[in-house]
């Protein structure tokens, strides 16, 4: 594990590197801002210990960061870096500096046609899903490690005439954990799509191919493919009926077990099909319903979304084969952050499974107030057993998240964030309830200064069958921060920023 001095050196090196990107000759095309902040706080349970063993501590946090954005016809870049030093009074030997980075870039090799996309994330994540979990980086869990993710690849946009469009994309991603107990991984994904999806009359068609490959340092590699052809017909300008006929890998060969699958590479082995309907009455409303048969049994999808200028809602239900690594990377790409609480098994758990995921989200964003609520239920199954007509649930994660915001003046605002979740895993023997609540008051000081007060509480309530002890922790933190330059919408990853904030970009 790098020393505190090494972490400080790495952090300031990154700050200098980002600063060099801001070439004064291109200042008119760029946005550069810096952040400095100091917070002082108190916690009544610094190590998340069980009742009767709590240890209170005072802490100080020093934050320095840079954000940079540049938009040019051929190059669009967003970089956000932050160094967060946390220093304790009683537990001074545990003081640490965390470096977080969120960077994306899109280079147009041929304008509007050929691109090279890249991204980088440096963050912290949990080591052991059965260990202590905290919603922020202030508590001393002993269950946190650095992770670096670097990915990129070419993307070619296709168009034939006025109505046929598509895409060819290849992506390579490397994930490196600082903790040697966790397996470093590689993701390779190739996709091809082509169809007349922009037409809303007469017949419709689409061709889709997907190849995903995941390599691990020690565990067996995972590779699977899908290919399908979709044919449909618009019975009106807003209603389409369609069917999908395709081939997919034999999922009993994806993860070799014993002699099973040794020497074999999963190909397009099994037939599958869907029938469904799309409903698009206007640009704000979409509804998709489909049902079919996959090699692991019946499969259904339901997606309904409605958007307005002040928010909207989503209702989603999907059943599909997936991997732990794919889910983590999707979350990073969507919100620029790791959400480890959404990972039931953690990096040491099942690498490939059947997932059935349901979510309902509502967001209301008004000039002086905002509200959001999300209900979710994620279930995972052994996919090989599902192929053999058994459906034992291996993991489940469900809960509700609430986000409220109110600006009661041009300078002051309050926000409330809460999540209550239940985790269960037969693979890692997890069965607990996690709750988090946070109240935040912010008041602008001058043009770019801000005073903040944060009161947070987190609790863990394991079941009787768990070996973990229940704990609760309360924090009170106040601080002041100052930004310099033009603020950017690019953010560094946050330990708990919330799905709803990630969705709305706030």
Low-confidence winner among 7-11, 250-254, 311-315 (lowest mean pLDDT): 7-11
Both tokens of 274, joined, read 């869907």
The total of structural domains in the chain comes to 1
Nearest to 222 by CA among 16, 29, 429, 383: 383
User: Which residues face 403 on adjacent strands?
Assistant: 372, 417
Which of 1-10, 291-300, 371-380, 387-396 has the weakest average pLDDT? 1-10
Cα–Cα distances in angstroms (integers) from residue 347 to residues 125, 193, 252, 320, in the given order: 9, 31, 22, 20
What is the rounded distance in angstroms from the CA atom of residue 407 to the CA atom of residue 490?
Answer: 22
Alpha carbon 328 to its chain's center:
6
CB atoms within 10 A of CB 53: 11
Q: What is the per-residue pLDDT across 38-84, written as a single tens digit (0 to 9) for each?
A: 999 999 999 999 989 999 999 999 999 999 999 898 999 999 999 99
Return the half-sphere exposure (C-beta side, CA atoms, 13 A cut-off) of residue 98. 23
Stretch 321-332: mean pLDDT: 77
Q: From CA 327, how far away is CA 345, in angstroms rounded?
A: 12
**Interatomic CA distance for residues 124 and 340, integer angstroms:** 9
- Cβ-Cβ contacts under 8 Å for 9 (sequence gap 6 or more): none
Question: 502 pairs with which residues across the strands?
Answer: none
Two tokens at 377? 């239920």
CA distance 227 to 304: 25
Burial classification of residue 446, based on how many CB atoms lie within 10 Å of its CB (0-12 exposed, 13-18 middle, 19 or more buried): exposed
Q: Which helix (H) or strand (E) holds 441?
A: strand 430-445
Q: How far apart are CA 147 and CA 126, in angstroms?
A: 10
* DSSP per position, 354-417: EEEEEEEEEEEE-SSEEEEEEEEEEEEE-HHHHHTT---EEEEEEEEEEEEEE--SSSEEEEEE
**Two tokens, residue 39:** 């917070």
CA distance 441 to 412: 7
Q: With beta carbons less than 8 A apart as the criterion, state whether 35 and 487 touch.
A: no
* pLDDT of the residue at 215: 86
Three-state secondary structure along 232-245? EEECCCCEEEEEEE
The pLDDT value recorded for residue 81 is 93
- CATH number of the domain that 172 lies in? 2.40.170
Query: What is the DSSP pairing of strand 185-195 with strand 164-177?
Result: antiparallel
pLDDT in tens, 138-149: 999 888 889 899
Q: What is the DSSP letter of 220?
A: P
Q: Tokens 């058994």 belong to which residue?
A: 390
The model's pTM? 0.83
The residue written with tokens 């609760």 in the block is 472
Q: Mind listing the pLDDT tens digit for each residue in 211-253?
A: 999 888 877 788 899 999 999 999 998 999 999 999 999 888 8
Start-to-end CA distance of the chain, whole Å, equals 33
Q: What are phi and psi of 341, to 5 degrees?
A: -70, -25
Using the predicted structure, report yes or no on whether residue 262 has a pLDDT greater than 50.
no
**Structural domain boundaries, residue 221:** 4-504
What are the residues whose beta carbons fall under 8 Å from the beta carbon of 491, sequence distance 6 or more? 67, 80, 102, 336, 497
Measured distance CA(265)–CA(223) in Å, rounded: 8
Looking at the predicted structure, is the pLDDT value of residue 35 above 90? yes
Query: 3-class DSSP state for residue 41?
Result: strand
What does the block give as tokens for 283? 């640009």
pLDDT of residue 340: 46
The pLDDT, as a whole number, for residue 265 is 66
Q: What is the mean pLDDT of the segment spanning 24-43?
A: 81
Give one DSSP letter per residue of 252-268, joined into a string: TTTS-BTTBTTT----S
With tokens 């980002």, the residue in question is: 18
Longest Cα–Cα distance in the chain: 72
pLDDT digits (tens, 9 = 90+) for 372-404: 999 999 898 888 888 877 778 888 889 999 999
Nearest to 371 by CA among 381, 380, 361: 361
Kindly report the average pLDDT of the chain as a whole number.
Answer: 84
Least confident of 356-360, 486-490, 493-497: 493-497
Locate 346 and state its tokens. Answer: 């953690």
According to DSSP, the β-strands at 449-462 and 471-485 are antiparallel
Q: How far apart are CA 506 and CA 502, in angstroms?
A: 7
The pLDDT of residue 218: 78
Give the residue carrying structure tokens 């964030």.
417
CB of 102 closer than 8 Å to CB of 121 = yes
6 contact partners, CB below 8 Å, separation of at least 6: none
Average pLDDT, integer, range 363-372: 91
Q: What percent of the chain has pLDDT over 70?
A: 84
Q: What is the pLDDT of residues 108-167, one digit of tens each?
A: 999 999 999 999 988 888 888 778 888 888 999 888 889 899 999 999 999 998 899 999
Q: Any idea which of 219-228, 258-267, 286-295, 439-448 has the lowest mean pLDDT?
A: 258-267
CB 473 within 8 A of CB 135: no
Q: Identify whether the C-beta of residue 385 lies closer than 8 Å to the C-beta of residue 337.
A: no
């Amino acid at each position: 594990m790098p020393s505190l001095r090494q972490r400080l050196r790495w952090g300031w090196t990154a700050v200098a590197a980002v600063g060099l990107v801001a070439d004064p000759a291109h200042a008119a095309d760029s946005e550069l801002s810096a952040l400095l902040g100091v917070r002082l706080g108190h916690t009544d349970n610094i190590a998340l210990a069980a009742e009767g063993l709590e240890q209170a501590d005072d802490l100080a946090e020093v934050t320095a960061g840079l954000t940079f954005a540049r938009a040019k016809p051929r190059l669009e870049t967003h970089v956000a870096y932050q160094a967060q030093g946390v220093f304790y009074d009683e537990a001074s030997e545990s003081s640490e500096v965390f470096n977080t980075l969120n960077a994306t870039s899109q280079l147009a090799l041929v304008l509007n046609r050929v691109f090279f996309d890249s991204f980088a994330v440096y963050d912290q994540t949990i080591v052991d899903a059965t260990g202590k979990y905290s919603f922020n980086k202030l508590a001393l869990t002993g269950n946190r490690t650095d992770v670096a993710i670097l990915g990129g690849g070419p993307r070619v946009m296709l168009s034939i005439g006025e109505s046929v469009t598509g895409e060819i994309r290849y992506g390579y991603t490397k994930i490196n954990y600082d903790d040697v107990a966790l397996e470093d991984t590689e993701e390779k994904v190739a996709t091809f799509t082509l169809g007349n999806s922009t037409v809303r009359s007469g017949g419709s068609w689409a061709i889709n191919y997907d190849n995903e490959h995941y390599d691990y340092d020690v565990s067996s590699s995972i590779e699977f493919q899908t290919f399908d052809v979709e044919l449909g017909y618009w019975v009106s300008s807003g209603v389409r009926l369609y069917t999908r006929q395709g081939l997919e890998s034999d999922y009993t060969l994806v993860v070799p077990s014993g002699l099973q699958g040794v020497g074999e590479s999963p190909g397009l082995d099994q037939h599958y099909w869907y029938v469904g309907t799309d409903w698009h009455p206007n640009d704000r409303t979409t509804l998709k319903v489909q049902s079919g048969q996959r090699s692991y049994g019946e499969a259904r999808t339901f997606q309904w979304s409605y958007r307005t200028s002040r928010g909207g809602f989503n209702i989603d239900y999907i059943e599909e084969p997936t991997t732990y690594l794919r889910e983590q990377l999707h979350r990073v790409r969507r919100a620029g952050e790791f959400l480890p609480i959404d990972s039931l098994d953690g990096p040491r758990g099942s690498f490939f499974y059947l997932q059935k995921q349901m979510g309902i989200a509502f967001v209301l964003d008004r000039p002086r107030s905002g509200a959001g609520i999300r209900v979710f239920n994620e279930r995972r199954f052994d996919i090989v057993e599902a192929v053999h007509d058994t459906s034992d649930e291996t993991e489940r994660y469900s809960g509700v998240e609430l986000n409220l915001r109110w600006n009661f003046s041009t300078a002051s605002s309050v926000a409330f964030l809460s999540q209550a979740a239940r985790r269960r895993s037969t693979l890692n023997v997890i069965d607990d309830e996690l709750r988090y609540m946070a109240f935040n008051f912010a008041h602008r000081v001058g043009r770019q200064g801000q005073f903040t007060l944060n009161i947070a509480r987190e609790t863990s309530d394991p079941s009787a069958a768990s070996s973990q002890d229940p704990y609760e922790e309360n924090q009170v933190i106040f601080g002041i921060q100052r930004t310099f330059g033009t603020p950017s919408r690019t953010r560094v990853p946050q330990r708990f920023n919330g799905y709803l904030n990630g969705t709305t970009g706030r």
